[in-house]
Structure 1
Amino acid sequence: MRTGGTAPESSPEIRTYRIPTTATGEDAPTFVLLHGIGLSHRFYGRLGRALSRTGPVVSFDLPGFGPTRHPGRRLSVEDHAALVAAQLTRLSTGPVVVIGHSMGAQFATELARTYPHLVSHVILIGPVVDAAHRTLRAQAWALLRDAPLEPPRTQTAALFDYVRCGIPWFLTEAFAMRDYPTHERIVDVSQPLLVLRGEHDPIAKAAWCHHLAQLTSAGTVETPPRTRHNAPHARPEAVAEAVRRFVQEHV
């Protein structure tokens, strides 16, 4: 359900969507889903519905992705995080459980470190960019190795979003993704951190994910079985259960 919010006319467009919760009680956590490069909120609808049984869910179409307008200039990870922070402030969500997948993990990291009052827990799924393979060529090769082995339904959903995004904007933001030093910025994240890695993810490799978790004071890694890079779409129930368990253990 879309509930508002594009940024002011002079700002890059961001669209906000909310899924109300079926949970009872006033202490239900709010989950925020941040999509990766080329994708949109649609790609995380299945995960959002699974999480909505525990708490309300907020997701976004960030500038140039999904149906939003291309902003006409490159946006940095910091720019995206600032836009999300402004929307969360407008929505008065209180501290949220932020969940970022792929490049969205960079947005989540930047949101948590720069606007810590807005974030209670940080979940990074398939985080990028591995400092040992920090080139666009390496990232493209890993993506090509992953895509054909994802479930057909996941391949179709990703392809739809990639086509709508378009190659020029995808490549523009790929440079922003490459240039963001996730391993340097994550040391400033003070909230409880969970790194989720698909068992067979060739993009976010095991050593990289464990390294990120070890760079924080409260980081842990979990590996849902029979999953690849796009675990939030391919196995949403397994991801949602891992997220719920982590949040409950770190109240």
Structure 2
Amino acid sequence: MSAASSTPSGSRHRSRLHPSRPESALAGRWTEIDGLEVFYRESPSQPDAPAMMHVHGFGLSGRYLLPTAELLSDEFHTLVPDLPGFGRSQGASMGLDVPDLAHAAARFLDDRGVDRVTLVGNSMGCPVITEFARLHPDRLERAVLVSPAGGMYNQPLRRAVAQLTRDGPREPTRMVGVAVPDYLRFGVPSTLKMFRALTQYPSLERLLELEVPTLVVIGDRDPLMPPTRRVHEVASMTDTHVLLVGIRGAAHAINFSHPGELAHVIRQFMADEPITDDPDSPGLARVVEIHRGAHHPRAKGT
């Protein structure tokens, strides 16, 4: 496994998918993982900075995670890959399930020389993180789960589609130009296969097994999340290391719609500081503590 720095046999694949102009302040790069070409974005070299990798959701690439990732890139060695089979990265011929994606994430970190990491996931990225924690517990520093998806509340497929349909108008209109190309590239066969994999994955069980400091962030306008009563019920089942925070006004793609608010919360979580609202972030978002484990500092009311 080594970073691809020259033009390999897959150059036509790369030139076809590579954007004509930079999409981000983070550098867009390619590497090869287990024989697959993988596209990723990376912050400038910061050898002493702690590593933080952002993990995208169902059918999407890492592109919609960039608004939050960029805001954190001055403090963390930031990585935003397109997992194999998503975005510009090549996919395995047999497809991937949640454990495969977690394994691919670990292999990508190997390739980048990262031993320990904080993972920030959105939607499907959250089950990938919990599986990564099960497979590689010594490599996960902290977990940030934003709008976790893939549980019983998102089944069957027609319910998930209806939830996504309701979510669309609640997201910024510019999200359309980011998400639609990714969904079209992912395709219907991959959607059906990946959805079946998610329905078979024990999301709640893995969430409750997490043993690292964990931040869960949800939006109060997210139709893919269960009712507040169920969220509180799940929170009460967790150990003392889980901090559950709500952002008022946010829907499902918080990493894209409320990057300032989310980055602010993540910074405070990483520093073990009280969670407060970000006065510099425009909009209606407000951070409200829902559940905090005993090991975390007391949150300030907002």
TM-score normalised by length of structure 1: 0.89
Deviation per CA, 1:80-108: give whole Å up to 9, x if none. 00011112123222321101110011111
Separation in 2, partners of 1:209, 1:110? 21
In structure 1, the partner of 2:217 is 196
Q: How does 1:80-159 map to 2 (within 5 A)?
A: 80-159=101-180
SS of residue matched to 1:121: strand
In structure 2, the partner of 1:244 is 267
SS of residue matched to 1:137: helix
Does residue 1:224 correspond to 2:250, yes or no?
Answer: no
Q: How does 1:169-208 map to 2 (within 5 A)?
A: 169-205=190-226, 206-208=228-230
Separation in 1, partners of 2:169, 2:90? 29
Q: Is the 8 A contact 1:198 1:227 kept in 2?
A: yes
1:5 paired residue among 31, 34, 46? 31
1:15 maps to a residue whose letter is: F
The alpha-carbon distance between structure 1 residues 106 and 225, as it changes in their structure 2 partners (threshold 3 A), is same
SS of residue matched to 1:221: strand
Between structure 1 and structure 2, the one with the greater Rg is: 2
Out of 90-99 and 112-121, give the one that drifted further.
Answer: 90-99
Q: Is the 8 A contact 2:154 2:224 kept in 1?
A: no
The alpha-carbon distance between structure 1 residues 210 and 57, as it changes in their structure 2 partners (threshold 3 A), is farther
> Which structure 2 residue ranges, 5 or more long, are not aligned?
1-26, 273-295, 298-302
> Which structure 1 residue ranges, 5 or more long, are not aligned?
none
Q: Is the 8 A contact 2:219 2:247 kept in 1?
A: yes
Q: Is the 8 A contact 1:196 1:223 kept in 2?
A: yes
TM-score normalised by length of structure 2: 0.75
SS of residue matched to 1:220: strand
> Alpha-carbon deviation of 1:197?
0.3
Separation in 2, partners of 1:133, 1:39? 17
SS of residue matched to 1:62: coil
1:17 paired residue among 21, 36, 41? 41
Bigger share in helix: 1
Q: Percent identity?
A: 29
Number of aligned residue pairs? 246
Separation in 1, partners of 2:234, 2:44? 32
